[in-house]
Chains A and B, each alone.
Chain A
Amino acid sequence: MTDLLQSVVNGLLIGAVFALVAVGLTLIYGVMDVVNFAHGEMVMLGMYTSFFAWSLLGLDPLLSIPLAGVSIALTGALMYFGAVGRVLGKSPLAQVIVTFGLQVFLRGLAQFLWTPNTRTVPRPWAAGLRWEIGPVVIGGPQVIMAVGALLATGAVAYFMNRTRLGGAVRAAGEDPAAASLMGIDPRKMYALCWVIAGLATGVAGALLMNSYSASPTAGVSFVLMAFVVVAFGGFGSITGAALAGLLVGVAQGVVGLYAPSYTLAAALALYLVVVLVRPQGLLGTR
């Protein structure tokens, strides 16, 4: 029973990071109808940024959050202007393939520059924290990651739902032609999506360095999880992704308790069930 409670708590905490990774993915999908297969690689680059901020500048992962966010936001802009933006309106296949190509490219780049070895920040500040609530033990890094991720996710949701600019992004996503008649340049809004997604994944990467290690393939499991989360929350729905992230985190935590090797398999099975039975997701209406 205690184990179960512990797994649920752990799951909730990591679920917040899933949510943060997923909001960028669902944002790009919802606005541009593009699935960013390179999303996990953006997280991976965020992790490396945070790692090098520590190894070169001695910065704790918590302090490198802004740096990682900005760096990956720039990376996102580069990905948009250099590749994704150039295939809009071309064949759907080209649109799917281009982010796939980016994924391979970024992973290859990391492998080339930094070798396949894993990199860890040995003693982040958060590792010194630890709470015990009844029988449940909560580690500092987990809490820091969850709190940071929730704040960042909330910021993205706030921006999209409450600000004028966020409204413009949504308008561009719903009807690019009408939006441009209203003076909104859809392509600027698309680029903005990539910048936001970059910010979110960069922040996620830095947060993750509190307890994970960076490697060229570090992003893979996160992007697969993010697909599950995005489907679960309804493709394109930010609130949906945020809630689904927590749910999927808990599900993963619980499955991990009984069958640790099968957490990803269970999540993917969940994806299949969701898209086949309720394609609009839990909250989606489409």
Chain B
Amino acid sequence: MSAPTVLRRPSPARLSGPTGRRLPSWGTAALILAALAAYPLVFADSAAHNIGILALTFGIAATGWNLLGGYAGQVSFGHALYFGTGAYTTAALVRQGWSPWLAIALSLPLAALLAAAVGWPCFRLRHHYYSIATIAVAEIVFILVTNLPGLGQANGWELPVVEQSLANLQFSLLDKRPYYYVALGFFCLAALAVWLFLRGRAGNYVRAIRDDQEAAAAVGIDVHRYKLAAAALSGAVTALAGGYYVMYVLFVDPPSGLGLDLSVSFTLMAVLGGVGRFWGPLLGAWVLVFVQDVTRQEFSGSGRSVDLLLYGALIVLVSITEPGGLLAIGQRLWAPVARRLGGGRGGKAAPEPAGSAEVKP
């Protein structure tokens, strides 16, 4: 047969490359947490803190996206809907005088419900059909919020500036470290929730669904139910990011809370860092926020921006070179080093499938 292998229709099984464990060990988690906690102390200027806050916040959203898109394989391009649910619910309630903590907390089950409600019909669709449907739903909501009275329309909503305190979730803009550490706290919460979900049966089930939906059903997995569960948690986590984001910038309008670009950026963050990898979205968020910040300064005033250009180039580059994202590239570069350093322990970083497959049954 002369047909080159590249021309075969892709099997969903290879969504993010063959590998086993994707969940972090306690050691890795502790190491990353320590680095994150030290960051604002090492980089002391307010701009760096701003980058950190945004990276953590969008890292939360992208981690939420990754649960559904990366682990469960349901690629949503409409996650701004849940970010917006968090942002708008929080904004609405805080404007009524509610505590932001309570407001954010309330927005989470709301977003979970919404995600399940959207998923109920849409999860009957597969692949592109599903992805485009998520765009459609999110864009419809975007248009409704922009035009219908009651949610600030195109002008958006401002949140009142009140006394600075942890209870009010408002801090000094001169020293943004409190914002940073609250963001870190929220990130830990989100990561923990996602980790708990993925750790046991549910995690196995959603990965099975991603790999092969028919086979998953054949071993007794209620495919629809587990997609809904993943969507609900994913929506809630993304809403958490939206709720905190609106408390940080004290403003929300349709483009900043519900826009298609926002949905795209969550996806891109996860893909850039490493889709279906636990820390991938955070890494991707950090890189994108950083790139955006640097290029903004570089080209400010010219009306031109280079960040979109760079994002796009990065994404294309990652997808054609290593769909596993920066983390996979890092792992690949690290593997030979680790092998040389650790001697016998080298196999751990990069599982070698070749040897085992040659064993005859």
Shortest beta-carbon distance from A259 to chain B in Å:
9
Give Cα distance in the complex from A187 to B12, angstroms.
21
- The answer to whether A66 has its CB under 8 Å from any CB of chain B is no
Beta-carbon contacts under 8 Å, B117-176 to A: 121-122, 124-125, 127-129, 131-133, 135-137, 139-140, 143-144, 146-147
- Among B2-10, B21-29, B178-186, the stretch that binds chain A is B2-10
- The answer to whether A268 has its CB under 8 Å from any CB of chain B is yes
Shortest beta-carbon distance from B279 to chain A in Å:
18
Q: Which residue of A lies closest to B317 (CB)?
A: A101
Shortest beta-carbon distance from B44 to chain A in Å:
32
Q: Are A111 and B312 in contact (CB under 8 A)?
A: no
Beta-carbon contacts under 8 Å, B271-292 to A: 271, 275
Shortest beta-carbon distance from B151 to chain A in Å:
14
In the complex, how many residue pairs between chain A and chain B have their CB atoms under 8 Å apart?
Answer: 180
Beta-carbon contacts under 8 Å, A260-286 to B: 261-262, 264-265, 268-269, 271-272, 275-276, 279
Say yes or no: A275-B147 contact (C-beta < 8 A), given A33-B9, A105-B312: no
Q: Are B319 and A101 in contact (CB under 8 A)?
A: yes
Q: Are B320 and A87 in contact (CB under 8 A)?
A: yes
Cβ of B75: which chain A residues have Cβ within 8 Å of it? Answer: 93, 96
Q: Which residue of B lies closest to A96 (CB)?
A: B75
Q: Are B16 and A181 in contact (CB under 8 A)?
A: no
- The answer to whether B89 has its CB under 8 Å from any CB of chain A is no
Cβ of B140: which chain A residues have Cβ within 8 Å of it? Answer: 265, 268-269
- The answer to whether B330 has its CB under 8 Å from any CB of chain A is no
Cβ of A181: which chain B residues have Cβ within 8 Å of it? Answer: 1-3
- The answer to whether A91 has its CB under 8 Å from any CB of chain B is yes
- The answer to whether B304 has its CB under 8 Å from any CB of chain A is yes
Q: Which residue of B lies closest to A261 (CB)?
A: B147
- The answer to whether A70 has its CB under 8 Å from any CB of chain B is no
Q: Are B267 and A180 in contact (CB under 8 A)?
A: no
Q: Report, as a range, how many residues of chain A touch the other chain.
A: 35 or more
Give Cα distance in the complex from A262 to B146, angstroms.
10
Give Cα distance in the complex from A87 to B1, angstroms.
22
Q: Which residue of A lies closest to B129 (CB)?
A: A275
The DSSP consensus for interface residues of chain B is helix
Number of interface residues of B (CB under 8 A): 62
- The answer to whether B350 has its CB under 8 Å from any CB of chain A is no
Give Cα distance in the complex from A175 to B301, angstroms.
53
Give Cα distance in the complex from A271 to B309, angstroms.
30
Q: Are B137 and A272 in contact (CB under 8 A)?
A: yes
Shortest beta-carbon distance from A24 to chain B in Å:
16
Q: Are B307 and A224 in contact (CB under 8 A)?
A: no
Give Cα distance in the complex from A224 to B143, angstroms.
13
Q: Are A111 and B304 in contact (CB under 8 A)?
A: yes
Say yes or no: A35-B128 contact (C-beta < 8 A), given A104-B264, A268-B136, A268-B139: yes
Beta-carbon contacts under 8 Å, A62-93 to B: 82-83, 86-93
From A109, A224, A227, A269, B309 is in contact (CB under 8 Å) with A109
From A88, A103, A107, A268, B6 is in contact (CB under 8 Å) with A88
Q: Are B275 and A102 in contact (CB under 8 A)?
A: no
Cβ of A272: which chain B residues have Cβ within 8 Å of it? Answer: 121, 133, 136-137
A-B contact pairs, 29 of them (CB 8 A): A35-B128, A83-B320, A91-B14, A91-B15, A91-B323, A93-B275, A93-B323, A94-B320, A97-B271, A98-B316, A98-B320, A100-B267, A101-B319, A103-B312, A105-B308, A105-B316, A106-B312, A107-B312, A113-B304, A116-B303, A177-B7, A224-B135, A224-B139, A264-B143, A265-B139, A272-B136, A275-B129, A276-B124, A276-B125
Question: Given A105-B315, A116-B303, A264-B139, 15 other A-B contacts at CB below 8 A?
Answer: A35-B131, A90-B319, A91-B17, A92-B10, A93-B271, A94-B319, A95-B319, A98-B315, A112-B304, A112-B305, A181-B2, A224-B135, A268-B139, A275-B133, A279-B125
The 9 A-B residue pairs with the shortest CB-CB distance, nearest first, are A105-B312, A108-B308, A101-B315, A108-B309, A104-B312, A89-B6, A177-B3, A268-B136, A101-B316
